[in-house]
Chain A
Amino acid sequence: MGKIKDADAVGEVGNLNCGDVMKIYLKVEKNKIKDVKVETFGCIAAIVTSSLLTEMAKGKTLDEAYKITNKDISEGLELPNIKLHCSVLAASALRKAIDDYRKKFKV
């Protein structure tokens, strides 16, 4: 968890008003995620799901990483219903970061 200073792309979701914010930083090499980190403002479920997501995404190709769903993340976590949105947030933050990368580097 934390920030990548010279990240190739960034994806941010949520806002302070709703209580959860995730900001994902990507470092990409040869279409693969070389490094990924996240900064999270949120409850433990938000922290855990976003941190777990970075572990899942690391080493994957952009296409593979894009396919990670909130179900993949929340599997085995036994998140209460009210916290399921945290895993949704995490998945969409990653997709937003990948979108950002594709837009910037036109791939």
Chain B
Amino acid sequence: MKRIYMDNGATTKVAPEVAKVMKKYFSDSYGNSSSLHKLGRDANKKIEEARKIIADSINAEPNEIIFTSGGTESNNLTLKGIAFANEKGSHIIVTKVEHDCVLNSAKWLEKQGYKITYLNVDTDGFVNEKDLEKSINEKTILVSIIHGNNEVGTIQNLEKLGKICRKRNVLFHTDACQSYTKTEIDVKKQNLDLVTLNSHKIHGPKGVGALFIRKGINITPWQHGGGHEFNLRSGTLNVPGIIGFSEAVKIANKKDIEHMIKLREKIIEGVFDKISDVKLNGSKKERLCNNINFTFFGIEGEGIVGYLDEKGICASTGSACSSNSLEPSHVLQAIGFERKDCNSSLRLTLSRYNTEKEVDYLLKVLPEIIEKLRRFTPYKNV
């Protein structure tokens, strides 16, 4: 069976052109980018090219970019590294809809004695600017707000939120793992001090990410060793991965975004047309171009995912990272869902490779699956 992949929020297929570029750096140009010889110098040259490509893509300088193993590491380094580098302050602000790697880093810091504020969001998933402003105090050192939400797709207005942080002299970080290359990130315009980026959500390889750290910011490294990445992240660089990452950034384009928006709107329209008792979660307007998140009242999301899988369609209920937990989604709870309805979600996340034909097939099988599950749910009137 040909698989239809609509779980690009979990990870994406490595683009063939990315894989092709990477290949050479496994067994031909395999030098350590820190080595002085020719193979090392070759690798280093490519790494610096990659650094520039990524810096340019967010209007930053190359020496403001460090490579990491991915979004989780970049977010951990941000929260812990900023907390430990700032002796005067002990207060950090995050939102209730962050990815687990931000939330759990924040919780860990709480155990070390730091104060954390978990900001509420409205029913569309937006942070209220006044709430943010009110929660900043003289001890606040960092505000971390996810850009495009990984579950419900809402895109925050970084420019406005960043302005508040800048005005109050507090560092502003965003986790842009889902939004990178899908919507504009401009560190100058959006007043960003730190930005988490990763490769495997944009058709690059897994295990690579980056962190933008504005020049002059004091951050404590967590990985000690040979002093790689401006002494902020020791460890031999993942040369093929980083080169693949930058190639993925290069191939991202506006046309793909328009394509994904077109398919996204077709799915939303089709589902509302054919299925009753359904809600679209997240903002309708300020939304990731590839994200759709529905609640189908009365039935269980994992049941829908299972039957879609049987029909050849890969989807998820929300974050792939939490599907091994039985806890209902913290994001859906934060946007106001009752606990009983938090297990009824379906997330479809598209990519440049999805086609109109695949969407037609989805719109044919999904209503049948929903009807079938509703036929034998004990909760007809929820």
Binding site for B on A (CB under 8 A): 1-3, 12, 15-23, 38-44, 46-47, 82
Contact = CB atoms under 8 A, between A and B. Distances in A.
B306 A43 contact: yes
Interface stretch (B107-115, B196-204, B295-303): B295-303
Interface stretch (B54-62, B218-226, B371-379): B371-379
B376 A43 contact: no
A16 B382 contact: yes
A16 B379 contact: yes
A47 B379 CA distance: 14
Contacts of B303: 40-44, 46-47
Most buried by A among B299, B300, B375: B300
Interface residues of B, number: 21
Contacts of A39: 376-378
B340 interface: yes
B30 interface: no
A42 B375 contact: no
A66 to B, nearest CB: 22
B189 interface: no
Most buried by B among A15, A16, A17, A82: A16
B302 A43 contact: yes
B376 A42 contact: no
B339 interface: yes
A82 B302 CA distance: 13
Contact of B300 (A3, A15, A41): A41
Given A19-B326, A82-B326, A38 B376 contact: yes
9 contacts: A2-B376, A16-B339, A19-B328, A39-B378, A41-B299, A41-B378, A43-B302, A43-B303, A82-B324
B118 interface: no
A89 B326 CA distance: 15
B84 interface: no
Contacts of A38: 376
Most buried by B among A15, A18, A22: A18
Closest 7 CB pairs of A and B: A44-B306, A43-B302, A16-B340, A39-B378, A23-B378, A1-B376, A19-B343
Contacts of B305: 43-44
Q: Is the interface of B mostly helix, strand, loop or mixed?
A: loop
B300 A42 contact: yes
Contacts of B307: 44
Nearest to B298: A41
Given A22-B378, A40-B378, A41-B377, A17 B300 contact: no
A12 B377 CA distance: 12
Given A1-B376, A39-B377, A41-B377, A46 B326 contact: no
Contacts of A12: 378
B378 A20 contact: no
Nearest to A37: B376
A47 B299 CA distance: 11
Nearest to B341: A16
A82 B340 CA distance: 20
B376 A17 contact: no
A17 B305 CA distance: 19
Interface string B253-276: 000000000000000000000000
A39 B300 CA distance: 12
A3 B376 CA distance: 7
A38 B307 CA distance: 18
Nearest to A51: B376
Contacts of A20: 300
Contacts of B376: 1-3, 38-40, 47
Nearest to B302: A43
B328 A21 contact: no
A21 B326 contact: no
Interface in B128-143: none
B365 to A, nearest CB: 15
A101 B162 CA distance: 64
Contacts of A43: 300, 302-303, 305-306
A82 B299 CA distance: 20
A15 B378 CA distance: 11
Most buried by A among B305, B339, B343, B376: B376
